[in-house]
Chain A
Amino acid sequence: MNLQRNWPVLALVLLLAAGLSAPLVTGASAVAFFLEVLLGGLMSGVLYALVALGFVLIFKASGVFNFAQGAMVLFAALALARMSEVMPLPVAFGIAVLIMIVFAWLVERLVLRHLVNQEGVVLLMATLGITYFLDGFGQTVWGADIYEIKLGLPKTPTIVLDNIFQGGILINVEDFVAACIAALLVICLAVFFQKTPTGRALRAVADDHQAAQSIGIPLNRIWVIVWSVAGFVALVAGMVWGAKLGVQFSISLIALKALPVVILGGLTSVPGAIIGGLIIGVGEKMAEVFLSPVMVKAFDLAGGGIENWFAYVLALAFLLVRPEGLFGEKHIDRV
Chain B
Amino acid sequence: MIYRENGQFKTSYAADQQLLPIAQDRWFLISLVVLAFAAVPLFASDYAFRALIIPFLILTIAAIGLNILVGYCGQISLGTAAFMAVGAYAAYNLVVRVPEVNFIVALAVAGLVSAAVGVIFGVPSLRIKGLYLSVATLAAQFFMDWMFARVKWFTNYSPSGSVSPAPVEIFGWQIQTPVDKYFFLLAILVVMTLAAKNLVRSHIGRAWMATRDMDVAAEVIGISGLHAKLTAFAVSSFYAGVAGALWGFVHLGSWEPLAFNINLSFNLLFMIIIGGMGSILGSFFGAAFILILPLLLNQLPGGLGIPISTALISHLESMIFGALIVFFLIAEPHGLARLWAIGKEKLRLWPFPH
Binds A, one of B25-33, B97-105, B145-153: B145-153
Check A134 against B128 for contact (C-beta < 8 Å). Answer: no
Interface SS of B by simple majority: helix
Check A125 against B329 for contact (C-beta < 8 Å). Answer: yes
On whether A144 and B127 interact (CB within 8 A), knowing A131-B322, A308-B146, A323-B132, the answer reads no
**Closest residue of B by beta carbon distance from A317:** B139
* Complex contacts, B131 vs chain A, CB 8 Å: 65, 120-121, 124
Interface membership of chain A positions 288-321, coded 1 if the CB is closer than 8 angstroms to chain B and 0 otherwise: 0000000000011111111011001101100110
Task: State whether the Cβ of B217 lies closer than 8 Å to any Cβ in chain A.
Answer: no
On whether A114 and B161 interact (CB within 8 A), knowing A319-B124, A335-B128, the answer reads no
Identify B322's interface contact among A118, A132, A260, CB under 8 A: A132
Task: State whether the Cβ of B319 lies closer than 8 Å to any Cβ in chain A.
Answer: yes
Identify A121's interface contact among B74, B145, B225, CB under 8 A: B74
**Closest residue of B by beta carbon distance from A304:** B150
Interface membership of chain B positions 115-128, coded 1 if the CB is closer than 8 angstroms to chain A and 0 otherwise: 00000000011111
Identify B273's interface contact among A125, A135, A140, CB under 8 A: A125
Check A140 against B312 for contact (C-beta < 8 Å). Answer: yes
Task: State whether the Cβ of B51 lies closer than 8 Å to any Cβ in chain A.
Answer: no
Of the candidates B142, B152, B311, B333, the one having the most CB atoms from chain A within 10 angstroms of its own CB is B142
**Closest residue of B by beta carbon distance from A110:** B326
Which residues from 157 to 211 on chain A have a C-beta closer than 8 Å to any C-beta of chain B?
Answer: none
Task: State whether the Cβ of A7 lies closer than 8 Å to any Cβ in chain B.
Answer: no
Identify A312's interface contact among B142, B311, B319, B323, CB under 8 A: B142
Check A256 against B322 for contact (C-beta < 8 Å). Answer: no
| Nearest CB in chain A: distance from B223 CB, A | 13
Task: State whether the Cβ of B306 lies closer than 8 Å to any Cβ in chain A.
Answer: no
* Complex contacts, B321 vs chain A, CB 8 Å: 129, 132-133, 136
On whether A128 and B150 interact (CB within 8 A), knowing A121-B130, A316-B135, A320-B124, the answer reads no
Task: State whether the Cβ of A263 lies closer than 8 Å to any Cβ in chain B.
Answer: yes
Identify B76's interface contact among A121, A308, A316, CB under 8 A: A121
Interface residues of B, CB < 8 Å — how many?
48
Check A312 against B127 for contact (C-beta < 8 Å). Answer: no
Q: Could you tell me the distance between the alpha carbons of A53 and B32 in the complex, rounded to whole angstroms?
A: 53
Check A316 against B318 for contact (C-beta < 8 Å). Answer: no
Q: Could you tell me the distance between the alpha carbons of A130 and B333 in the complex, rounded to whole angstroms?
A: 16
* Complex contacts, B215 vs chain A, CB 8 Å: 335
Task: State whether the Cβ of B325 lies closer than 8 Å to any Cβ in chain A.
Answer: yes
Check A132 against B128 for contact (C-beta < 8 Å). Answer: no
Q: Could you tell me the distance between the alpha carbons of A201 and B127 in the complex, rounded to whole angstroms?
A: 33
Task: State whether the Cβ of A122 lies closer than 8 Å to any Cβ in chain B.
Answer: yes
Check B124 against A136 for contact (C-beta < 8 Å). Answer: no
**Closest residue of A by beta carbon distance from B159:** A302
* Complex contacts, A259 vs chain B, CB 8 Å: 134-135, 138
Interface membership of chain B positions 303-338, coded 1 if the CB is closer than 8 angstroms to chain A and 0 otherwise: 000000001101111111111111001100100000
**Closest residue of B by beta carbon distance from A260:** B135
Identify A319's interface contact among B135, B269, B312, CB under 8 A: B135
| Nearest CB in chain B: distance from A122 CB, A | 6
Check A319 against B138 for contact (C-beta < 8 Å). Answer: no
Check B311 against A144 for contact (C-beta < 8 Å). Answer: yes
| Nearest CB in chain A: distance from B246 CB, A | 26
* Size bin of chain A's contact surface: 35 or more
* Complex contacts, B316 vs chain A, CB 8 Å: 136, 140
Check A316 against B329 for contact (C-beta < 8 Å). Answer: no
* Complex contacts, B314 vs chain A, CB 8 Å: 136
Interface membership of chain A positions 63-107, coded 1 if the CB is closer than 8 angstroms to chain B and 0 otherwise: 001000000000000000000000000000000000000000000
**Closest residue of A by beta carbon distance from B76:** A121
* Complex contacts, A118 vs chain B, CB 8 Å: 329
* Complex contacts, A132 vs chain B, CB 8 Å: 266, 318-319, 321-322, 325
* Complex contacts, B318 vs chain A, CB 8 Å: 132-133, 135-136
**Closest residue of A by beta carbon distance from B74:** A121
Check A303 against B150 for contact (C-beta < 8 Å). Answer: yes
Q: Could you tell me the distance between the alpha carbons of A111 and B329 in the complex, rounded to whole angstroms?
A: 9
**Closest residue of A by beta carbon distance from B143:** A309
* Complex contacts, B322 vs chain A, CB 8 Å: 129-136
| Nearest CB in chain B: distance from A59 CB, A | 9
Q: Could you tell me the distance between the alpha carbons of A89 and B264 in the complex, rounded to whole angstroms?
A: 38
* Complex contacts, B315 vs chain A, CB 8 Å: 135-137, 139-140, 144
Task: State whether the Cβ of A115 lies closer than 8 Å to any Cβ in chain B.
Answer: yes
Check B319 against A137 for contact (C-beta < 8 Å). Answer: yes
**Closest residue of A by beta carbon distance from B161:** A302
Task: State whether the Cβ of A286 lies closer than 8 Å to any Cβ in chain B.
Answer: no
Of the candidates A128, A263, A300, the one having the most CB atoms from chain B within 10 angstroms of its own CB is A128
| Nearest CB in chain B: distance from A270 CB, A | 18
Q: Could you tell me the distance between the alpha carbons of A122 and B326 in the complex, rounded to whole angstroms?
A: 10
Q: Could you tell me the distance between the alpha carbons of A316 and B136 in the complex, rounded to whole angstroms?
A: 6
| Nearest CB in chain A: distance from B97 CB, A | 18
Check A256 against B134 for contact (C-beta < 8 Å). Answer: no
Inter-chain pairs besides A126-B329, A139-B311, 16 sampled, C-beta below 8 Å: A111-B326, A111-B330, A122-B329, A129-B326, A135-B322, A136-B317, A136-B318, A137-B315, A302-B149, A302-B151, A309-B142, A312-B139, A319-B132, A320-B127, A333-B130, A335-B215
The contact sample of 21 A-B pairs, CB cut-off 8 A, is A115-B329, A122-B333, A124-B130, A124-B134, A125-B269, A125-B325, A132-B266, A132-B322, A133-B326, A136-B314, A136-B319, A136-B321, A144-B311, A256-B138, A308-B142, A316-B136, A316-B139, A319-B128, A319-B132, A319-B136, A333-B129
User: Using a CB–CB distance below 8 Å, which chain B residues touch chain A?
Assistant: 74, 76, 124-132, 134-136, 138-139, 142-143, 145-146, 149-152, 161, 215, 225, 266, 269, 273, 311-312, 314-326, 329-330, 333
